[in-house]
Structure 1
């Protein structure tokens, strides 16, 4: 028997042995009621680049991806990663003790140019209302599928303050609150707390750091007003007081923090009549992603 014949004989033997290996017989008639979705968070981003570049980066060799991409003109949603697979959109991340949020989240990238540095300071681009409506419809569907808690619908900046700014202060979080998707500070309680903090001494740095950590942010507990603490304050302000996200401690920010961390201070409203609650005229195009996390 020559070498070639021996090699073919060996290969055939290996193949037959593999075929003879028994497979597990799985009975799927019993389903546990003790389970839920692996998806616990929903993270919103802006792309900072146009649609064509966004699509290329998110679907090719950029080592970054998202489950969905929402274009601005024309408004259209693209599914790039199946919801059952992990997309690489969050990076180094933290919220309320949870880390590595890629493994437990769905990411939505929104086409938006982000910010421009000007002599007057950083200017963020706005979002067309039709695009915001589409995002609200998409968020509502995802939340219904996975029963994501309202307080776990977050921005990229929330889970990576300082490192990320998206979706930025121009993103209308209040509209998501009006749609009943996220909690929002009780306006009547906020009015009372705002009046109090206008007359009492401003809380010290440790108070701000402790309150921000209580909200969920990864916040230094140094007792000093360092750069990282400013970034977290600015991120908090971008959501709840977007007209002034200076990162400075002030009475209004203190009032907001006090309300947000007060039991019952955050309310989830019934949707305001007219807010989008179903997705229409939207096509999706599923495409799995197999690149390394960033």
Structure 2
């Protein structure tokens, strides 16, 4: 019976929409410009925006080279929707900073790679990418001292303040057009693919963007409350703490499998989180401050997920919320 009446109901709804003026019978439809045929437009409610994420990058090279790499064919082609120059770049041809659009927002730019955020993979299909000229780079580990495990050395120049103002203005414009890009969906390249990327790096002013209405940030008072609780809880061993932090990262949006992730993967994702939210100390360790910042973010943006952890003092959270 149900399978019989459901199509009838859908047909009735379609007819009702048509009679009430829900259809367009003009020659042009939503995506059609031809007058060679008639288009009936009945806009379905069962759809969503393609764009859900805004991804920030740094270029690691100057403007002129960036523009060439992002627009010209190569053996490993890359692109982004926008490129933002910086002052004092000899390769930049103008006296004022301008936003360069390289790919139409409705088209797929190749900037995110094999990425993951929330329940989506391959974020090229779901995002807008902004490349920001900044010549940060990492030097491979030196092998000059046998028997000593060396670490790579990274250099992170400050971002140009005027450039960041331009990033904020562009981002706010994008967010106004795509309401599905919620604060936690404004992410860095390193957030969505921490195995290979770290941009936009520790000098990117995420807090300034959040204060301007672009992206997520935590409240210090909430961090302090969670830090006080965590400092008083010394019963958990390091492995269980890291595994639980991996679950919190997954709850926030990071593409980590809390149960299957290796020790190295947990460190990589923790480092990515620290680059974004605790850039003054990036070590891959889920210490109490890092955990408190994550709890503050979950409380602010995903309170229902935080309430699922019985060891977290949800009574304090409810009191603070009131």
Please classify the TM superposition score into its range, dividing by the shorter chain length. 0.7 to 0.9
Counterpart for residue 97 of structure 1: 119
Residues 1:57 and 2:94 aligned together: no
Structure 2: 5+ residue stretches without partners:
1-34, 88-95, 142-150, 304-322
Whole-angstrom CA distance in 1 between matches of 2:40 and 2:79: 33
> How far does residue 261 in structure 1 lie from its aligned partner after superposition?
2.2
Pair 1:32–1:264, CA change in 2 (3 A): closer
Deviates more, 1:96-105 or 1:68-77: 68-77
Counterpart for residue 260 of structure 1: 297
Superposed CA RMSD: 2.4
TM-score by length of 1: 0.76
TM-score by length of 2: 0.70
Matches within 5 A, 1:32-111: 32-62=44-74, 63-73=77-87, 74-111=96-133
> How far does residue 123 in structure 1 lie from its aligned partner after superposition?
2.9
Residues 1:204 and 2:236 aligned together: no
> How far does residue 260 in structure 1 lie from its aligned partner after superposition?
1.9
Q: Deviations over 1:247-272 (max 9, x none)?
A: 11211011112222236578xxxxxx
Counterpart for residue 176 of structure 2: 144
Pair 1:165–1:224, CA change in 2 (3 A): closer
Matches within 5 A, 1:1-294: 25-62=37-74, 63-73=77-87, 74-117=96-139, 121-147=153-179, 148-201=181-234, 204-222=241-259, 226-262=263-299
Deviates more, 1:66-75 or 1:25-34: 25-34
Structure 1: 5+ residue stretches without partners:
1-22, 267-294
Corresponding residue SS for 2:130: strand
Contact 1:234 1:245 in 2 (8 A): yes
> How far does residue 199 in structure 1 lie from its aligned partner after superposition?
2.7
> How far does residue 76 in structure 1 lie from its aligned partner after superposition?
2.0
> How far does residue 222 in structure 1 lie from its aligned partner after superposition?
4.4
Higher relative contact order (CA 8 A, sep 6+): 1
> How far does residue 99 in structure 1 lie from its aligned partner after superposition?
0.7
Contact 2:189 2:199 in 1 (8 A): yes
Contact 1:115 1:125 in 2 (8 A): no
Q: Deviations over 1:26-79 (max 9, x none)?
A: 324544455443211111111111111100100002310000000002522100
> How far does residue 206 in structure 1 lie from its aligned partner after superposition?
1.6
Alignment length, in residue pairs?
244
Q: Deviations over 1:68-105 (max 9, x none)?
A: 00000252210001111111111101001201111111
